[in-house]
Structure 1
Amino acid sequence: MSGMIERLPGWPPVLPDLFGWIETGVPGLHGVPGLHGIRVEEALTDNTYVLRAELPGIDPSKDVELTITEGMLTLRAERATETTAKHHTEFRYGTFARSVRLPAGARGDDATADYKDGVLTVKIPVPEVKAGTRTIPVRTG
């Protein structure tokens, strides 16, 4: 064999499947047809949890929904755009969603969200919790 991958007769080629994963994601991770992921960055600085999400080409007042339920922040967005050139038209549309677990003590009622230059920034206060030391007495017999 000269460095080529040998496959059994009747088996599909390996590389097209690999490139398909790059385009559509790893099989089994998308549970809902038409639902796409959102790329996010998370940080916890100065007692504030910050989530930044890439959402270019949307109207945040109409197309974004942010919810917090039981310590989970869920971001849903819909996009429907059309690009037209001389001999080419392209549609980009779909529903995008992402859920992340918030840090313990996050105050979701005080969350804020801003949208600028295609990036949604969500800030949620996370007060510092003082971890006290408690001595537990040991009882004997």
Structure 2
Amino acid sequence: MLVRYNPWQELNSIQRQINSLFAETRVPATVLAKDFMRVPAAELQETEEAVYLKLELPGLEAKDLDIQVTEKAVYVSGERKSETKTEEKGVTKSEFHYGKFQRVIPLPVSVQNTNVTADYKDGILNLTLPKVEEAKNKVVKVNLE
């Protein structure tokens, strides 16, 4: 039996594997999901003066979060604890995600990690990350020949 080789089929397979990696929203991806909740959604905005990072962390209290900032990245970890009640017997179906999570968000420029300000309200964490002076006024001369 003769089978025609299709090189695109192999590329399609690789593309599906890559898509499945990015579709996985649990950290770490190699651990079964039962112990890890989904990582928080993030929004990053850069202006002339600072980088603004917004994280969606519903159902968490500030005391359950650990936030660390370097000049190049923000590390956020925490845990949403289950609120199970044992007063009444029955079946509970839940789409909530409980457990530990961690996320490292690389920053597009260097920031002054000693001058970060944070605001946490209604499950939204807002971080203001001021840029270092070199990143603010970075001008590159382009030579044309």
Shared fold, TM over 0.5: yes
The answer to whether the aligner puts 1:49 opposite 2:51 as a matched pair is yes
Q: How far did 1:130 drift?
A: 3.8
Question: Residue 57 and residue 104 in structure 1: after superposition, are their counterparts in 2 closer, same or farther (change >3 A)?
Answer: same
Contact persistence 1:42–1:52 (CA under 8 A): yes
Q: What's the % identity of the aligned pairs?
A: 31
Deviation at 1:31, TM superposition (A): 3.7
Which aligned pairs between 1:4-83 and structure 2 lie closer than 5 A? 25=24, 30-33=29-32, 34-35=35-36, 36-60=38-62, 62-69=63-70, 71-82=72-83
Gaps (5+ residues) in structure 2? 1-19
Which has a greater percent of helix?
A: 2
Q: Is 1:93 the counterpart of 2:98 in the alignment?
A: yes
Structure 1 residues 74 and 26, CA gap change in structure 2 (3 angstroms): closer
| CA distance in structure 2 between the aligned counterparts of 1:117 and 1:27, rounded to whole angstroms | 23
- Post-superposition Cα deviations, 1:36-78, rounded to whole Å, max 9, x if no partner, equal 3211111112411111111111111x11111123522111111
Q: Tell me, in whole angstroms, the C-alpha distance in 1 between the residues paired with 2:39 and 2:26.
A: 14
Over the aligned positions, Cα root-mean-square deviation in angstroms equals: 3.4
Residues 99-137 of structure 1: per-residue CA shift (max 9 Å, x gap): 1112323111111111111101111001412426599xx
Aligned equivalent of 2:9: none
Output the amino acid matched with 1:100: I
Give the alignment partner of residue 131 of structure 1, picking from 120, 126, 139. 139
107-116 vs 42-51, which moves further: 42-51
**Runs of 4+ displaced beyond 4 Å:** 26-29, 86-92, 132-135
For the residues of structure 2 that align with 1:111 and 1:132, how far apart are their CA atoms? 27
Q: Is there any run of 5+ residues in structure 1 with no aligned partner, and where?
A: 1-20, 136-141
Alpha-carbon distance in structure 1 between the residues aligned to 2:69 and 2:26: 28
**Aligned mates of 2:47, 2:71 — CA distance in 1:** 22
What is the aligned partner in structure 2 of residue 115 from structure 1?
120
Q: State TM-score, norm by structure 1.
A: 0.62
Larger Rg: 1
The answer (yes or no) to whether the contact 1:106–1:124 under 8 Å persists in 2 is: yes
Q: Is the 2:27–2:101 Cα contact (8 Å) retained in structure 1?
A: no
